[in-house]
Amino acid sequence: MGLPVRIKQLYKNTTDLVRSQRGRNVVVFLIFLAISAILWCVLTLNEEQQYDLRMPVRLENVPDSVTVISTPPAFISVSAKGKGTQMFKHSIGQAPWFGIDFRLYRSRGALRLGDADLKAIARSALGGSTVQLVSPDSLTLLFTTRRPLRKPVKIDYKVSAGPQSTIVGVPHPSTDSVKVYYASQIPYNVKSISTEPIHLSDLAATTTVKAKLIAPRNCRVIPDSIDVTIEVEPLIMKTRRVVIEPINVPTDMKLITFPAQIDVIYMVPMSIYRTTDPHFSVTADYRSINVGRSRKVRLRLHDVPSELVNVHLSADSAEYIIEKL
C-alpha cells in the first residue's frame, strides 16, 4: 500500500471518529477546557503577586572628569508586588536596568543612596510595582575629580620550574606602573601596587597569567589587572673537565691527587647553551686531610655562575699522595 493511500485512509478514520457521538463529546470538552484555561490566565495575570528580581546596576550621566572609585554591585536584588502581567513581563524578558543617576545623588565626593532612594529607583524601573525590599538597602560610592598618581607594580609570586626546565630571570608585567585614583587624602605611604599572590609550580614552558592588582583603601587602580609572564626554558646537560688545585699545602710538601682532573656536570638554559663559557675551580684542601682515617681528600667546587643549574662534581673526593720536597 502506497503512502498516499495510507494518508487517505487515516483522514477517513479521523473524520468518522469526529462525526461520531463520542468524537463530538470530546471536541466539545476540549473547547470548554481551552476557554477555561484562557479565563484562568486572564484572572491570574490581573491579580497582584509577589516576585523577586536581580536588576543589573548601571551608573548614568557620569561626567568625563569624574572617576568612580568604589565598584558598584553588579546586581540589586528586589522583592516587588504587582500584577501578574508585570511579573510575567519582568520574569520572562530581560530584567530592567537599575539606573543610578550620578547627578541626583552626588554629595561631597560620594554617591549616597538610602533604602528609600533605592526603592524609588526600583519602582520607577519596574513600571509602578510596589517595591517591598531591596538588597543591599544602602549604597555609598566614592568618586574623585583629582588627577591620579603613578605607582610602580610589584609582583607577588612564588613559582618553580619542572625538573628539566628553569625560570629565566624574574617574572615581568605587561606594564611597569599603573594609575592610582584616591578619594580624599593622598596615599603617601603607598610605595607600589602589588598583585595578588601568584603560585605556580612544575612549569615546563613560558607562561602568562592574568593577575589582579590590590588597590589600597579608598583608592582605585587602573588598570585593575595585568598580565604577568614567567619565562621558562628547557635545560641541556653539559660537562667540563677541570684541573684539581691543591690548596693550603706547606711549602715543603706536595699534594698530588688521583685523578688530577675531574668532570663538572651542570645544566644550562638552551638560549645560552652555545655562548656560556663557565670557568670553575675545584680545590683539594690539605688541611682537611685526616691521614689516620681516610686515604681520600674531599673536593670542593667554586666559582659557579648563577645561570647554571644542578652543578655538581662527578665525584666528591679523590685519592692522594703527599710528597716531601
Flag whether pLDDT at 288 surpasses 50.
yes
* Mean pLDDT computed over 290-305: 86
Structural domain contains residue 1: no
Flag whether pLDDT at 221 surpasses 60.
yes
Structural domain contains residue 224: yes
Q: What pLDDT is stored for residue 33 in this prediction?
A: 66
Task: Answer yes or no: do 110 and 174 share one domain.
Answer: no
Task: Answer yes or no: do 83 and 119 share one domain.
Answer: yes
Task: Answer yes or no: do 249 and 212 share one domain.
Answer: no
Task: Answer yes or no: do 296 and 248 share one domain.
Answer: yes
Q: What pLDDT is stored for residue 273 in this prediction?
A: 87
Flag whether pLDDT at 112 surpasses 70.
yes
pLDDT band at 172 (very low <50, low <70, confident <90, very high): very high
Q: What is the CATH number of the domain that holds 133?
A: 2.170.120.30
The residue count for the chain = 325
Task: Answer yes or no: do 94 and 112 share one domain.
Answer: yes
Residue of 271, 299, 306, 302 whose CA lies nearest to 285:
299
Q: What pLDDT is stored for residue 71 in this prediction?
A: 87
* Mean pLDDT computed over 266-279: 89
* Mean pLDDT computed over 194-216: 95
Flag whether pLDDT at 325 surpasses 90.
no
Which of 104, 124, 144 delimits the end of a domain?
A: 144
Which of 230, 251, 268 delimits the end of a domain?
A: 230
Flag whether pLDDT at 277 surpasses 80.
yes
Q: Report the percentage of the chain scoring pLDDT > 70.
A: 81
Q: What is the CATH number of the domain that holds 204?
A: 2.170.120.40
Task: Answer yes or no: do 165 and 224 share one domain.
Answer: yes
Task: Answer yes or no: do 224 and 275 share one domain.
Answer: no
Measured distance between the N- and C-terminal CA atoms of the chain, rounded to whole angstroms: 122
Q: What pLDDT is stored for residue 46 in this prediction?
A: 57
Q: Report the percentage of the chain scoring pLDDT > 90.
A: 51
pLDDT band at 318 (very low <50, low <70, confident <90, very high): very high
- Compute the mean pLDDT over every residue in the chain, rounded to the nearest whole number: 85
Which of 176, 198, 230 delimits the end of a domain?
A: 230
C-alpha to C-alpha distance for 172 and 209, rounded to whole angstroms: 11
Task: Answer yes or no: do 82 and 154 share one domain.
Answer: no
Count structural domains, the chain: 3
Task: Answer yes or no: do 208 and 240 share one domain.
Answer: no
Among 112-121, 145-154, 270-279, where is mean pLDDT lowest? Answer: 270-279
Task: Answer yes or no: do 130 and 203 share one domain.
Answer: no
Flag whether pLDDT at 293 surpasses 50.
yes
Structural domain contains residue 7: no
C-alpha to C-alpha distance for 114 and 104, rounded to whole angstroms: 13
C-alpha to C-alpha distance for 45 and 62, rounded to whole angstroms: 39
Q: Which domain holds residue 282?
A: 235-324
Task: Answer yes or no: do 208 and 266 share one domain.
Answer: no
pLDDT digit string, tens, across residues 13-53: 666 655 666 666 666 666 766 666 665 555 554 556 677 88
Q: What pLDDT is stored for residue 1 in this prediction?
A: 46
Structural domain contains residue 16: no
Task: Answer yes or no: do 240 and 220 share one domain.
Answer: no
Helices (H) and strands (E) in the chain, counts: 5, 24
Q: What cell does 313 get?
A: 662534581
Residue of 158, 171, 149 whose CA lies nearest to 216:
149
Return the SS3 of 316.
coil
Structural domain contains residue 275: yes
Structural domain contains residue 136: yes
Among 87-96, 178-187, 199-208, where is mean pLDDT lowest? Answer: 87-96
